[in-house]
Structure 1
Amino acid sequence: MNRRAGLLVGAGVAALLCVMALYLFLNAVPYQETIDHGPSPEAQANPYLAAEHFLRRQGINVEHANNLDVLPNLEPDQRSLLLLGERNHMTPREVDQLMNWAQAGGRLLFVAEALWDNSTASSGDLLLDRVRLRQFLSKDLKAPEPELIKDRYPKLTKLYLEDEEAPAYVGFDTDFHLEDPQNLAQAWANSALATHMMQLNHGLGSITVLTDAELWKNDHIDQYDNAWLLWYLSADTHVTLLYDIDHDNLLALLLRYFPQALVALLALIALWLWRSAVRQGPLQQPAPKARRQLEEHVQASAGFHLRHNGRQHLLHSLQQDVLRRARHLHPGFEQLAVAEQWQVLARLTRQPTRAISQALSPRPQQRMSSAEFCRQVAHLQTLRNAL
């Protein structure tokens, strides 16, 4: 390719790039896209994280606690204590401490956790029974006359304040209702059919009871006037939010991050149990050395030969032992005839020839009884001992 052709190709490529750039400039439209990654891990772990941030932005000092152990360190003056967690295990002593704390000037807020039971004249919620309020299901209330209901927002709870023309609208759960049979409450907030918040004076402080605290969780605090109500109830105080955050236990964390290590640990435990288990009965301890005497060795040896060689072998061994002793006492014994050998043995042992012939005669191959075997052994032992 000559130089002129190369210039033409380069010019063509440059022109194509210019045309593409012009097309993109004329047709491309910039835009912004928001990608929602969902709640942060902190928000997922803390349902009231947004409430804490909101109060801090209002200039309120906020602390979080998991239990009532912090109560002795909380000065009641200019302090709000919000019990937003479960109180199933609260003791009468803790109830007394909370009531005394509120009486000394603290602002106590808690959620009613149980329904009133007419049969027992209590609800089981020690703190709710102490302030003498009752909680019922809204569906169990007597429905008002239809013409009396003139509410544009029957599902919302209204809180009326002095010098305010319009109420604050709050998103309480309308399934529950608070009742004040002794008219102790100084303030309250109602929906169209039920009451969801009551406030009582108690000594130098105050007690506020709610039917639920879901309106202040991360998903609901920005709705209606929910955040405003939280600020209104805790304004000009230091706030302590008391609720227990459910953390994953050690086993859940291990299953999440170290499943292979757990499997290996379980395998090792299984191998150890298999190794330690008794597979064929308990182990037999070795016999002490003091029992291993000559008599036991002889009996064990005889038992071994009896099991492996039979009774004929034992009898033959005894007969050979008798003949061996006779050869030692009478030179030339082995060269004598059998009858002459028996006569020599009769003279040496002073036993009749008939008894000697019975003891030394070969036994038939058929199986002999135990009694006959014992008699034969006794005869041979008698002859051997006499030599």
Structure 2
Amino acid sequence: MSRRTLWWVGALIALLLGALTVFLYLKAKPYQEEVDHGPSPSAQANPYLAAELFLRERGLMVSHAESLAVLPEIDPRRHTLLLFNDRSRMTPRQVEQVLNWTRAGGRLVFVAESLWDEQSKQSNDLLLDRVQLHQSLSKDLKDLPADVAPDRFPKLTKLYLEDEDAPAYAGFDTDFHLDDPKNLAQAWANSAKATHMMQLPYSLGSITVVTDAELWKNNIISQYDNAWLLWYLSADTDVTLIYNTEHDGLLTLLWRYFPQAIVALLALIGLWLWHVGVRHGPLQLPAPSGRRQLQEHLRASADFLLRHNGQQALLQALQQDVLRRARRRHPGFDQLNVAEQWLALSRLTRQPTRAISQALSPVPNRRISSADFCRQVAHLQTLRNTL
């Protein structure tokens, strides 16, 4: 191919690329697309992360913990303690510790966890019983009178403040109701039918009880005036938020990542328990080697045969042994009659014919005495040993 041809081919390719570029430029339009990757790992680990960030934006110092172990380190003056954790295992000592902290000037906000039991006159929430407030189900309350004007937002909780024309709205769970039988509360917030927040003074401090804290979690704190209400309860103070985060336990993590090792460990533990298990009776010591003699084995075998087969079987076995040896010593022994066999045995053993006849006579079916049995056995052994 000539140089001129190569030049034309290159120009054609460049022209095609230029035309393609112009076409894409005219047809392609840029656009923006938002991809939702879900909550960040920090938001998943901390359900109140948005609440903490909101309070920090308002200039408050916010920290969080998972237990009351940090309480001795917190100065109650100008400090708010938010108890949003599970308190089912809270001890009376911890309850007294929290209340003493509040008496010294702290602000306490906690969630009522149990319903009031009229029969036992208590609930399973020790802290709620100590502040003498009761929680019940809203469905158990009496219906409002018919002449009461209907509420525009019956599912929202309204907090009325002084010098404000309109209330603040919060999204509390309306299934629960707080009751103040001692008239200790100085402020409260209600929905159309029930009360969901109460505030009462407590010596130098104050206590706020709410029916739930779900309205301050990441996904719904931005709704209504939920965020503002949390700031209102903790304004001009430092804040410590105590709640439980759900972590997998050690056993769960071990089973998730090392199931084979756990199964092997359980098997070894089972074998060890079986090995060291208590035996039903004392451990039998092995017999000393000095007692293991051939004579004892033979005697034990003879006793066993005597018990199970009887005298007749032993005597017949000896008689057959004697006759078998006689056949080896005297050819044609089987062709002789009984008398001739006895004579042949008399010559071979040099025993009288009478002794041979007594030894080889048929064994009776009845049991014979031990003396006769021993005498019969001795005669047969004598004949067998001489053949």
TM-score range, shorter chain: 0.7 to 0.9
Structure 1 counterpart of 2:259, from 262, 266, 270? 262
Alignment correspondent of 1:55:
55
Q: Deviations over 1:169-191 (max 9, x none)?
A: 21111222222232211212222
Alignment correspondent of 1:131:
131
1:173 pairs with 2:173:
yes
SS at match of 1:206: strand
160 and 337 in structure 1: CA distance in 2 versus 1, 3 angstrom threshold: closer
Please give the residue correspondences for 1:65-84 in structure 2 after superposition, counting only pairs within 5 Å: 65-84=65-84
Alignment correspondent of 1:381:
378
Please give the residue correspondences for 1:174-213 in structure 2 after superposition, counting only pairs within 5 Å: 174-213=174-213
Q: Within 1, Cα distance between the matches of 2:55 and 2:242?
A: 15
Paired amino acid for 2:200 = L
Checking the alignment, whether the CA contact within 8 Å between 2:155 and 2:191 is kept in structure 1 is: yes
Q: Within 2, Cα distance between the matches of 1:262 and 1:148?
A: 64
Alignment correspondent of 1:9:
9
Alignment correspondent of 2:339:
none
Checking the alignment, whether the CA contact within 8 Å between 1:318 and 1:380 is kept in structure 2 is: no
Q: Within 2, Cα distance between the matches of 1:207 and 1:248?
A: 33
Checking the alignment, whether the CA contact within 8 Å between 1:318 and 1:381 is kept in structure 2 is: no
Q: Within 2, Cα distance between the matches of 1:200 and 1:273?
A: 59
Checking the alignment, whether the CA contact within 8 Å between 2:346 and 2:356 is kept in structure 1 is: no
Alignment correspondent of 1:64:
64
72 and 319 in structure 1: CA distance in 2 versus 1, 3 angstrom threshold: farther
44 and 314 in structure 1: CA distance in 2 versus 1, 3 angstrom threshold: farther
1:224 pairs with 2:224:
yes
Q: Within 2, Cα distance between the matches of 1:267 and 1:96?
A: 47
Checking the alignment, whether the CA contact within 8 Å between 2:115 and 2:134 is kept in structure 1 is: yes
Alignment correspondent of 1:107:
107
Q: Within 2, Cα distance between the matches of 1:377 and 1:102?
A: 106
Q: Within 2, Cα distance between the matches of 1:276 and 1:159?
A: 65
SS at match of 1:108: strand
Q: Within 1, Cα distance between the matches of 2:300 and 2:44?
A: 79
CA RMSD, Structure 1 to Structure 2 (Å): 3.9
Checking the alignment, whether the CA contact within 8 Å between 1:305 and 1:314 is kept in structure 2 is: no
Q: What TM-score do you get using the length of structure 1 for normalisation?
A: 0.77
Structure 2 unaligned segments of length 5 or more: list them: 326-342
Alignment correspondent of 2:243:
243
Shift of 1:89: 2.4
192 and 318 in structure 1: CA distance in 2 versus 1, 3 angstrom threshold: same
Identity of aligned residues (%): 57
Paired amino acid for 1:212 = D
91 and 267 in structure 1: CA distance in 2 versus 1, 3 angstrom threshold: closer
Checking the alignment, whether the CA contact within 8 Å between 2:88 and 2:124 is kept in structure 1 is: no
292 and 370 in structure 1: CA distance in 2 versus 1, 3 angstrom threshold: farther
Q: Within 1, Cα distance between the matches of 2:31 and 2:39?
A: 25
Structure 1 unaligned segments of length 5 or more: list them: 322-335, 347-352
Alignment correspondent of 2:46:
46
Q: Within 2, Cα distance between the matches of 1:339 and 1:36?
A: 118
Q: What TM-score do you get using the length of structure 2 for normalisation?
A: 0.77
Q: Within 2, Cα distance between the matches of 1:98 and 1:138?
A: 28
Shift of 1:206: 0.4
154 and 38 in structure 1: CA distance in 2 versus 1, 3 angstrom threshold: same
Shift of 1:14: 1.5
Alignment correspondent of 1:18:
18
Paired amino acid for 1:203 = S
Q: Within 2, Cα distance between the matches of 1:53 and 1:189?
A: 25
Q: Within 1, Cα distance between the matches of 2:151 and 2:64?
A: 38
Q: Within 2, Cα distance between the matches of 1:74 and 1:43?
A: 25
Paired amino acid for 2:174 = T
SS at match of 1:115: coil
Alignment correspondent of 2:338:
none
Checking the alignment, whether the CA contact within 8 Å between 2:110 and 2:208 is kept in structure 1 is: yes
Shift of 1:124: 3.3
Checking the alignment, whether the CA contact within 8 Å between 2:255 and 2:262 is kept in structure 1 is: no
Q: Within 1, Cα distance between the matches of 2:195 and 2:210?
A: 9
149 and 246 in structure 1: CA distance in 2 versus 1, 3 angstrom threshold: same
Paired amino acid for 2:159 = L
Shift of 1:44: 2.1
Please give the residue correspondences for 1:328-347 in structure 2 after superposition, counting only pairs within 5 Å: 338-339=345-346, 344-345=350-351
130 and 357 in structure 1: CA distance in 2 versus 1, 3 angstrom threshold: same
